[in-house]
Amino acid sequence: MEYSYVAYTKDRKLVKGKLSAADEVAAASLLGYGGYQVLSIKQVVPFFDTGKLGARFTRVKPTEIVMFSRQLALLLESGTDIVTSLELLQVQTTNHTMKKVIANVVSDIRGGSSLSAALSKHPQAFSQLYHRAVSAGEQGGNLEETLRQMANHIERASVTEKKIRSALRYPIIVFVVAIAVVGLMVTFVLPRFTSLYTAFGAELPTLPRMLIGITGWFSHYGLWLLLGIVAVIGITFVYIRTPAGRTWWHRMLLSMPVFGRINLLNQLSRCCRTMALLFKVGVPLPEIMAVAIYGATNTIVAESLTEVQQELIKGEGLSRPMGRRKLFLPLMVQMVGVGEETGNLDKTLTTVAQAYEAEAEDKTSSAVAMIQPAMTMVIGGMVAFIAIALVQAMYSVYGQFG
């Protein structure tokens, strides 16, 4: 951060200027070391900060954090000091937000801060898991290895997320296109045929009458239906942002017929990966649980982990509190118990995470494979209904006026 100051020199001259420091105390210390007697220090707050504006629209991608971690580990292993290493990485990066973050981290380290403390001030780039692991690496003297482990962890999570998005992209596109095509037919195409058949005054079969009735209903109430759907979605979105609504939504995500199991597996695998990584670098179990709770994206999972943490602090261990809650699946409970007995909790948790990730990937692929033919059947049924109704209407008109 940048500060403006007013101070006296040793020969009693009044000077004004600016300097960068981690905080106000560090700025005063720097001026004191330079022989200045400080009168006032104020943080410089620009009226229009282009850096913050750019940070709002420029996201730090996981791949950039992975590259940053591996390059920093390599530079530190080669004997380069932390400040020089960060300055080299700052020059190389092309992301404006990342460049600004590294500059602030360098400034904080020059002001006497540790690397983990400096990283913790930038949650938009470095998660709590990241700076907690770096802190453990600093204390244990294995910072380079910790950075590589974090790079592997972030890369693995990013690959899993990309696979899920890629699997769901095609069904979503097909669904949107199908809705658009049916909407165009009901809105523009079918009313013309309806007007034609009505002008003939012929008696139509059941299917054409149903089609004409549905088309007329959508013509009169389609806009109201759309507004109603938008209103329901808006109200649901607002309710989900409340604590009670968020709990309801997260509980529903875990109890859905097919995707509930997938969501639970993803949550538990992420939790296991986090705990395994932090345990391996030497973080105490209560702190590991705190990071796992913070990293859980589901409120129900976070509440269950909080309860386990409280019982862990009371001396009940980790596997027994987990075993009392149905949320934690049997494999996880059993492997955590084995890890506690053997002292290899990181290895057993990694095994559980791999098993859950493989199961979640298989179930996601199966669910997507089921969605595609189901959507094809529904869309084909709708098109067949419209086509049969139109053909029946035409033959009925020809038969009556032939």
Tell me: pLDDT of 144 over 50.
Answer: yes
List b or e across 38-68, with b for residues whose CB sees 16 or more CB atoms inside 10 angstroms.
eeebeeeeeeeeeeeeebeebebebebbbbb
Poorest-confidence range of 45-49, 165-169, 189-193? 45-49
Query: For the chain, where do the domains classified as CATH 1.20.81.30 start and end?
Result: 58-155, 157-402
How confident is residue 371, by pLDDT bands cut at 50, 70 and 90?
A: confident
Q: Cβ distance 311 to 319 under 8 Å?
A: no
pLDDT in tens, 259-317: 889 889 988 988 888 888 888 878 888 888 888 887 788 899 999 999 999 999 888 88
Q: Residue 95's closest CA among 73, 115, 118, 66? A: 66
pLDDT, tens only, 311-335 = 998 888 899 999 999 999 999 999 9
Residue 329, pLDDT score:
92
pLDDT at 53: 47
- pLDDT score at 20: 66
228: helix, coil or strand?
helix
Where, residue-wise, is CATH 3.10.20 in the chain? 2-45
Amino acid 320 reads R
What topology does CATH give the domain 58-155?
Receptor-associated Protein (1.20.81)
Confidence of residue 201 (pLDDT cuts 50, 70, 90): low
pTM of model > 0.75: no
Q: Which two tokens stand for residue 253?
A: 């995500």
More confident residue, 42 or 74: 74
User: Where does 157-402 sit in CATH, by number?
Assistant: 1.20.81.30
What is the gyration radius of the CA atoms in the chain, in angstroms?
31
Rounded CA-CA distance 225/218 in Å is 8
Class of domain 2-45: alpha beta
- pLDDT-derived band at 336 (thresholds 50, 70, 90) equals very high
Of all residues in the chain, the percent with pLDDT exceeding 90 is 18
More confident residue, 127 or 204: 127
Q: Which two tokens stand for residue 390?
A: 């139109």
Q: Which two structure tokens, joined as six digits, stand for 103?
A: 């500059």
DSSP-derived secondary structure letter, 256: S
The C-alpha atoms of residue 290 and residue 302 are separated, in whole angstroms, by 10
What's the DSSP call for residue 189?
A: I
Q: 217 Cβ partners below 8 Å, 6+ apart?
A: none
> What does the pLDDT read at residue 307?
92
* Residue 198 scores a pLDDT above 50: yes
Q: Which two tokens stand for residue 157?
A: 């999570």
Mean of the per-residue pLDDT values of the chain: 82
Mean pLDDT, range 135-139, rounded to an integer:
81
> pLDDT category, 202, cuts 50, 70, 90?
low
Per-position b or e across 253-280, b if 16+ CB within 10 A of its CB? bbeeeeeebbbbbbbbbbbbbbbbbbbb
Specify the higher pLDDT residue, 20 or 40. Answer: 40
pLDDT tens per residue, range 51-81: 444 544 456 888 889 999 999 999 998 888 9
CA–CA gap between residue 89 and residue 71 (Å, rounded): 8
**CA distances from residue 335 to 117, 340, 366 in whole angstroms, order as listed:** 33, 9, 27
